[in-house]
Amino acid sequence: MAVVPLVWAEELSVASLNTIRTNCVAAQSDIQRIGRNDTISRVNRGRSYDAILKLFDAMNTRAANNNIDEPQLAEIAQSFELEVQNFRNKYNSYSSAYKASVSVDCVGRPTEFYNLLVRTRASRLELHNSINKLDGLINNYKAAVSGLVL
C-alpha cells in the first residue's frame, strides 16, 4: 500500500499557496469530472467482478462434480472475492476523499485543499493497485484452468 505523506502549511511557500488559490477552482472542476467518470467505471467494474465471481463458482462446482481436485482454483476464487471487497472499500475511501477535495473552500483554505488533494491521489493509487491485483488473480485463475488435466 502506497502512503503519500501530507504536506503541512509551513512546508508550502507563499508562491505555492497563491498558485493553489489561482488554479484550485478549475482543479476542483476537473476532479468532479474525473470523479463522475470513475463512478461509472466503478459500477461497470463491480458488475464485471460479480459476474466473474459467479463464473469462478460455476467452474469450481463443475470441477468438484467431475472429481477434479484442483484446490488452487478455490484458493484463487476466494482471494478474488476478498480483493473485490477490498476494491469496494478502496473505492469508498477514494470517493470520500475526492468529494472532500471538491467541497472545501480552496481559495480560502488552500493548504487544506492541497492536503485533501494529496489524500485523493493516494486513495486513487490504492484503488488502482487493487484493480491490478484483481487482474492478476483473473490471469492466475485462467492459467490454473488451462493447466487442468481432464
pLDDT digit string, tens, across residues 120-132: 999 999 999 999 9
- What pLDDT is attached to residue 10? 52
> Which residue's C-alpha cell is 477434479?
68
The pLDDT tens digits of the residues spanning 91-145 come to 999 999 999 999 999 999 999 999 999 999 999 999 999 999 999 999 999 999 9
**Residue 22 CA from chain centroid, whole number:** 30
The four Cα atoms 4, 8, 10, 12 give a dihedral, to 10 degrees, of: 60
Confidence of residue 42 (pLDDT cuts 50, 70, 90): very high
The pTM score is 0.85
**Which pLDDT belongs to residue 9?**
47
Domain boundaries, the chain: 71-145
The full length of the chain comes to 150
